[in-house]
Amino acid sequence: MTTAPASTLTAIINAHVVPVVGDPIPNGTVLIENGTISAIGADLIVPPTARIIDATGKWVLPGFIEAHGHVGIHEEANGWAGNDTNEMTGPNMAAVRAIDAVNIDDEGFRDALSGGVTTIVVKPGSGNPIGGQSVAIKSWGGRTIDEQVISDSVSIKSALGENPKRVYGDQKKTPSTRLGVSLVIRQAFVDAQNYVQARDAALEKGDAFTRDLGKEALGRVLSGELAWDQHVHRHDDIATAIRLAEEFGYRLVINHGTEGHKIADVLAEKKIPVIFGPMLTARTKVELRDRAIGNLAVLAAAGVLVAITTDHPVVPVNFLVHQASLAVKEGLPVQTALEALTVNPAVILGLDGRVGSLSVGLDADVVIWSGDPLDLGSRAELVLIDGLEVYRYSDGFGQVVERANRA
């Protein structure tokens, strides 16, 4: 199984096209050229040179986005040797970067394709108050990860609540309480503010200045370049996250938000988005006592911009769409569910100029489904990334185009 060059003109015809950002197009056509979507509509003229993909009876959607995953950084079936999720030798690890630890041959990426997931925002874990920098990548395609990067300027991962206080409490060092976790974050930002001020003054004078990678990263948060991805479950911890964000003026994104429904009106009023999930888990710790799939519908009904996460490998990444299906069962509107898999995470994390919908000029990350993807009986039958075929389901099994077979 090999792929055609990205410059090939491709036309997906006779499909039920769901752009997500607009109304569905019955008997629609999607034109792809040079790796991007060049046209979409019901009455398009297909150039005679186009490669035709007849999608009669199929649904065509943009590739889904896993907005908070650890694919490649917490590898499948490799135990400790493949787990580089947390650098837990210090509570402030703003300087570390997820991109430096992602194995793009991790089996999780193949699973992602089978679930129609074409973009993954890979983040450090939640063992530290400040965990490090995330990276948004395509689920497949490059010889190295650098060829799959959508953006390495996405966010810094942070954690409040049980995880960091447990990790450092067990080591008998700060932070061992919620008080200490907040202190670490607050002091780190004060230090970053001082650093940025001193750096800028030195640059203005032409003086030498010693760089600090962690403070530089936090300075990018303070300037608004990077989002602050806040791992948080309990409503009181969410309130702390809001307090810290307002104190320092950074762009807050709630990750998990298990009890966000308890202050949904506050989140909506302050326009703070929530990347919700994972949903298919037991209540394994105190913070998850009020975990419920229906909480997502409450957030959305209040006007909160929501996305959905598997937190892979907590839940397998290919189950992202199934979580959306179960959320619909618990009251989430169908359109909101599709948006939470596509355009919403793209907007939340600043990726909407590349991915998140079937729109002219965006990357041709397109998935052909056997039917409505929210129907548990539907499957991803063909996955294109940048216009290239990377996955096909046929004869009872899915087949990935391995890197060695790329044209």
The pLDDT score that the predictor gives to residue 127 is 97
The pLDDT score that the predictor gives to residue 5 is 52
Asked if pLDDT for residue 121 goes beyond 60, the answer is yes
The pLDDT score that the predictor gives to residue 45 is 93
Asked if pLDDT for residue 186 goes beyond 70, the answer is yes
- Give the Cα separation of 372 and 89 in Å (integer): 46
Find the mean pLDDT for residues 282-297. 96
327-338: per-residue pLDDT in tens? 999 999 999 999
Asked if pLDDT for residue 316 goes beyond 60, the answer is yes
Q: Assign 142 a pLDDT band (cuts: 50, 70, 90).
A: confident
Find the mean pLDDT for residues 303-311. 98
Round the average pLDDT of the chain to a whole number and report it. 96
Asked if pLDDT for residue 221 goes beyond 90, the answer is yes
The pLDDT score that the predictor gives to residue 133 is 98
The pLDDT score that the predictor gives to residue 384 is 97
In percent, the amount of the chain with pLDDT more than 70 equals 98
Asked if pLDDT for residue 166 goes beyond 60, the answer is yes
The pLDDT score that the predictor gives to residue 402 is 85
Find the mean pLDDT for residues 215-241. 98
In percent, the amount of the chain with pLDDT more than 90 equals 94
Single out the residue of 371, 379, 377, 378 nearest to residue 398, CA to CA: 379
First to last CA, the chain: 10
The pLDDT score that the predictor gives to residue 125 is 97
The pLDDT score that the predictor gives to residue 2 is 45
Peptide bond connecting 278 to the previous residue in cis, omega within 30 degrees of 0: yes
Please give the structure tokens belonging to residue 328: 């619909």
Asked if pLDDT for residue 16 goes beyond 50, the answer is yes
36-68: per-residue pLDDT in tens? 999 999 989 999 999 999 999 999 999 999 999
Asked if pLDDT for residue 1 goes beyond 80, the answer is no
The pLDDT score that the predictor gives to residue 8 is 83
Asked if pLDDT for residue 407 goes beyond 60, the answer is no
